[in-house]
Structure 1
Amino acid sequence: MIQEEEKIDHTKKEEILNQIKIKRERSLEEDNQEFFWIKSEGEKKLATENLVVGNQVYKEKLITKKGTEYRLWDPFRSKLAAAIMNGLEEFPFRNKSTVLYLGVSTGTTISHISDIVGPSGIIFGVEHASRVARDFLDRVATHRKNIIPILQDARKPKEYFSVFGKVDIVYVDIAQPDQTEIAIANCKMYLKDRGFLFLVIKTRSIDVTKPPKQIVEEEIQRMKPSFDILQTLDLHPYDKDHAIVIARFHN
């Protein structure tokens, strides 16, 4: 009898989770023009409208629907996509948005943000590691006119000579023990008042001896004097021991 009740409870839980997923997908599909749910291989998958038609960045699948080309957005390759899949509530990236992106790596996520902000938007992409910076330049920046590459250490925001004006969003994905302090320093210099910070917290880069949840909470406490915390998301199963914090800056 107990086993039967547990089975029913599990079935109900699965039904509820499926309903939530369907509701979220419908809502995003109807209300969001920044990213899309495109049917591929029998299921709906996350995608952005390709700014550079025919161009791939990381061998992602290109799909054309009604004359428009879309790039599938892999949540196992992009933490922003993982956040969307895990229930991201605030998505401030829009057509014409200005973004400062710290830690662009080889350019997977920034390329999708480039699709979203469009030709009238601007992304300042900061990368310090020379090898990945070359890949980023070759694969992404040379093809996308709305990306301004900055080959500089994110710890030295005063040396970003290419950045002009304040930005709408700061997105931070760097593997450093002081990543939160770096993010805060960059926001104080370049983020508009009430602008958004997306901070990827790589817990194992901060401290391998503490539980990941404790590290995330400690980093959030560091942010609170300058930010209103909007949402915190665990990025499992797409990334292990990673979280993303979405916050709003008050200068």
Structure 2
Amino acid sequence: MKRKPVNNFSNKNNQKFPKKRPYTGDKNISKKMKTVLVQPHPKFKDIYVGRNKEDVLLTKNMNPGVSVYNEKRVSVKSGQEIIEYRTWNCYRSKLAAGIVSGLDNIYIKKGTTVLYLGAANGTTVSHVSDIVGEESLLYSVEFSKRTGSDLISLAMTRKNIVPIIADARRPQDYRMIVPMVDVIFSDVSQPDQTKIVMDNARYFLKDGGKILISIKASSVDSSVPAEKVFTNEVNWLRKHDFKPKELVTIEPFEKNHAIITGSYKPTNKTSYQ
């Protein structure tokens, strides 16, 4: 399993990757967005890099003309078509932070069916919605009714988002809504988060499907160093039908946070579906 504690855009094996200062958030982006050069991300399909005074992550806006969380938008003319992109703030999205911090694979691209646990008000969900496209579905689970109302409002403008206001600890409550999925992304910041992922995987994740878990060390165990927490979570996954692939810390975007990725290979072939 790969461990990558370094956070930067550099990639010695790919000279096309940006050499300029990496994206650190919306507040320092030039307002003169007409000067930005948009290029496909060198590692991830359906994600883009905007070259300006600072490099920025971008996704192609599914709903042109509309911002989700006051993020800046970039319009680029391609032939007779004008394509709009949305900036993806690494300080407001752990998935974006993981990409910048060196993840080799996020397993999410056009056509991927995703179950998102801990969707909150939909900041990251909106970018995943851009990535997977209109032909796929993004099942988004959020426990809080307050933030869930924002998620529902977002789903009204993005038809590939299925909002589910429910407890991720009880996947049986939404088993009639969610089919088998390709990827589970989890950001629930609970002590038993890896077990929550396992329980949902047993209901919904395809054999060989992928997981991405955002781990907040202090939410799991504040009495031991963060590195120890991450190692313990990886070992737990190994014992419960998962094969961890990567462990990437995402500082300075989030302190004592890491993203763990892996694949699912259940020993018991019978799912709960």
CA drift of 1:94 comes to 1.4
Cα pair distance change 1:31/1:244, threshold 3 Å: closer
Partner residue in 1 for 2:45: 33
How does the TM-score come out when normalised to structure 2?
A: 0.81
The partner residue of 1:172 within 186, 192, 202 is 186
Aligned equivalents of 2:13, 2:193: Cα separation in 1: 32
Query: Which letter does structure 1 place at the counterpart of 2:190?
Result: Q
Partner residue in 2 for 1:102: 117
Conservation of the 8 A alpha-carbon contact between 1:148 and 1:162: no
Aligned equivalents of 2:263, 2:142: Cα separation in 1: 24
The answer to whether 1:57 aligns with 2:71 is no
Query: Which letter does structure 2 place at the counterpart of 1:38?
Result: G
Query: Which letter does structure 1 place at the counterpart of 2:180?
Result: K
Aligned equivalents of 1:128, 1:24: Cα separation in 2: 41
Q: Secondary structure at the match of 1:182?
A: helix
> Runs of 5+ in structure 1 lacking a partner?
1-15
Aligned equivalents of 1:58, 1:80: Cα separation in 2: 16
Aligned equivalents of 1:17, 1:55: Cα separation in 2: 28
Query: Which letter does structure 2 place at the counterpart of 1:105?
Result: A
What is the RMSD of the two structures over their aligned residues, measured on CA atoms?
Answer: 2.0
Task: Map Cα deviations across residues 2-24 of structure 1 (whole Å, 9 max, x no partner).
Answer: xxxxxxxxxxxxxx985649736
CA drift of 1:31 comes to 5.6
Aligned equivalents of 1:32, 1:177: Cα separation in 2: 31
How does the TM-score come out when normalised to structure 1?
A: 0.88
Partner residue in 2 for 1:184: 198
Aligned equivalents of 1:31, 1:239: Cα separation in 2: 22
Greater relative contact order (Cα < 8 A, sep 6+): 2
Partner residue in 1 for 2:99: 84
CA drift of 1:33 comes to 3.1
> Runs of 5+ in structure 2 lacking a partner?
1-7, 19-38, 267-273
More displaced 10-residue stretch of structure 1: 85-94 or 116-125: 85-94
Q: Number of aligned residue pairs: give it.
A: 234
Task: Map Cα deviations across residues 107-148 of structure 1 (whole Å, 9 max, x no partner).
Answer: 11110000000000101000011111112222x211110000
Q: Which runs of 4+ in 1 moved over 4 A?
A: 16-19
Return the structure number with greater helix share.
1
The partner residue of 2:232 within 215, 218, 230 is 218
The answer to whether 1:120 aligns with 2:135 is yes
Q: Secondary structure at the match of 1:150?
A: strand
Partner residue in 1 for 2:215: 201
More displaced 10-residue stretch of structure 1: 65-74 or 158-167: 158-167
Conservation of the 8 A alpha-carbon contact between 1:198 and 1:247: yes
Partner residue in 2 for 1:8: none
Cα pair distance change 1:17/1:34, threshold 3 Å: closer
Q: Secondary structure at the match of 1:204?
A: helix
Partner residue in 1 for 2:56: 45
Conservation of the 8 A alpha-carbon contact between 2:117 and 2:141: yes
Instruction: Trace 1:6-21 onto structure 2 (pairs within 5 A).
Output: 20=12
Conservation of the 8 A alpha-carbon contact between 1:25 and 1:37: no
Conservation of the 8 A alpha-carbon contact between 2:9 and 2:17: no
Percent of residue pairs bearing the same amino acid type? 35
Cα pair distance change 1:240/1:24, threshold 3 Å: farther
Q: Secondary structure at the match of 1:92?
A: coil
CA drift of 1:185 comes to 0.7
Query: Which letter does structure 2 place at the counterpart of 1:76?
Result: Y
